[in-house]
């Protein structure tokens, strides 16, 4: 039976509608075919300035022996310049000020996050953290956004594991909604809504996919899309920029496990992975997290017109499938 569920982290509602059934995916699966892509070593000159890289000790900037490389996004939409706002009656415009970087996560185009050696993934996560901390502390930056797109349907520009990093002089609407909801909750309950949900999910277990000492993965109560999966730090933390190095191992383990199980259940779906974090500051009401959204359904007019998402897969069912896949892998 259908059920309306209020999103504990935002003002919206979703309709969980299992009688619609899991719609067959017509988006296919994402499998890396070629070892090389335009992002591969040897093409360094095609891209913008190198901002950071993991390289052997005596290697020089721009040479092709890198392991992870951060460059300015080619044809970036944003660039560092003054943020000048102009108003003409009801119309407001501003200069496209900000930063846009591309993190190339491995020299081999086939080496996805779940397949790369764990030590390499640890280094990728460290670079995510360091770039976010650096860009988040630039003057005038209000929002930092790390996102990964896998597969063309999910908006990926390259068939090569990479992440996009944006730093903007304006706030992000979705994060602001979460922050506002978290503030309201805090005023009433004097606690972080995310911490309270984490405690409840660990106790109830019906939407818990996996957890270790420092992180947990769940399918959220008001999942907007089938198999939506969130990863939270178990301890309260408002900014990914302050991620302690000694917990990165646990995050790498959980990311690998979750991606393997999504691939196993859904046959390598296209997906978006987005990080919701405050740029730098400590805040006792907001709790950073990673949202992983497999692209299995299209949004219809109903969703656009009402702001409701209709999700045919109850998150409790999705969690069960993903947990079973983990058990099969012996994780």
Applying CB under 5 A, the residues found at the interface with Zn ion are 192, 194-195, 236, 287
Given a contact cutoff of 8 angstroms between Cβ atoms, the answer to whether 219 and 311 are in contact is no
Nearer to Zn ion, 101 or 178 (CB): 178
Based on CB atoms, which residue is closest to Zn ion, 33 or 190?
Answer: 190
Minimum distance of Zn ion from residue 194's CB (angstroms)? 4
DSSP states of 28-57: -------S--TTSTT-GGGS--EEEEE--T
The residue number whose beta carbon is nearest to Zn ion equals: 192
CB of 310 vs Zn ion, minimal distance in Å: 29
Q: What is the dihedral of CA 39, 297, 145, 30, to 10 degrees?
A: -20
Q: Which is nearer to Zn ion, 287 or 295 (CB)?
A: 287
Closest approach of Zn ion to the CB of residue 198, in Å: 7
Output the six-digit token pair for 171. 């706030």
Q: How far is the CB of 285 from Zn ion (least distance, A)?
A: 8
Closer CB to Zn ion, 185 or 309, in the complex: 185
Q: Is the separation of the CB atoms in 168 and 315 below 8 Å?
A: no
Task: Characterise 307 by phi-psi region: left (phi > 0), alpha (psi -120 to 50), beta (else).
Answer: left
> Shortest Cβ distance from residue 237 to Zn ion (Å)?
7
DSSP label of 282? -
Scored b (16 or more CB within 10 A) or e, 266-289 reads: bebbbbbbbbbbbbbeebebbbbb
Q: Which is nearer to Zn ion, 195 or 274 (CB)?
A: 195
């Amino acid at each position: 039976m259908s059920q309306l569920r209020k999103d504990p982290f935002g003002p919206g509602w979703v309709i969980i509608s299992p009688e619609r059934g899991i719609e067959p995916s017509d988006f296919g699966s994402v499998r890396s075919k070629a070892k090389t892509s335009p992002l591969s070593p040897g093409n360094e000159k095609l891209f913008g300035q190198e901002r950071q890289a993991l390289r052997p000790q005596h290697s020089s900037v721009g040479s092709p022996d890198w392991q992870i490389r951060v460059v300015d996004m080619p044809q970036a939409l944003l660039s560092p310049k003054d943020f000048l706002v102009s108003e003409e009656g009801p119309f407001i415009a501003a200069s496209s000020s900000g930063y846009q970087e591309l993190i190339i996560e491995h020299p081999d185009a086939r080496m996805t996050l779940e397949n790369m050696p764990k030590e390499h993934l640890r280094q990728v996560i460290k670079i995510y953290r360091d770039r976010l901390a650096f860009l988040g502390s630039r003057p005038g930056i209000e929002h930092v956004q790390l996102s990964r797109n896998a597969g063309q349907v999910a908006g990926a520009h390259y068939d090569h594991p990479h992440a996009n990093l944006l730093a903007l002089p304006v706030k992000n609407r979705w994060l602001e909604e979460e922050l506002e909801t978290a503030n309201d909750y805090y005023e009433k309950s004097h606690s972080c809504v995310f911490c309270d949900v984490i405690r409840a999910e660990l106790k109830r277990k019906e939407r818990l996919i996996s957890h270790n000492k420092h992180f947990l993965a769940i399918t959220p109560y008001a999942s907007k899309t089938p198999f939506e999966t969130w990863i939270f730090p178990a301890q309260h933390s408002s900014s990914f920029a302050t991620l302690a190095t000694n917990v990165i191992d646990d995050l790498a383990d959980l990311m690998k496990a979750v991606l393997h199980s999504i691939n196993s259940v859904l046959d390598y779906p296209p997906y978006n992975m987005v990080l919701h974090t405050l740029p730098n500051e400590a805040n006792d009401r907001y709790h950073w997290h990673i949202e992983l959204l497999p692209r299995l359904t299209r949004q219809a007019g109903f969703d656009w017109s009402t702001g409701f998402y209709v999700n045919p897969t109850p998150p409790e069912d999705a969690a069960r499938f993903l947990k079973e896949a983990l058990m099969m892998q012996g994780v």
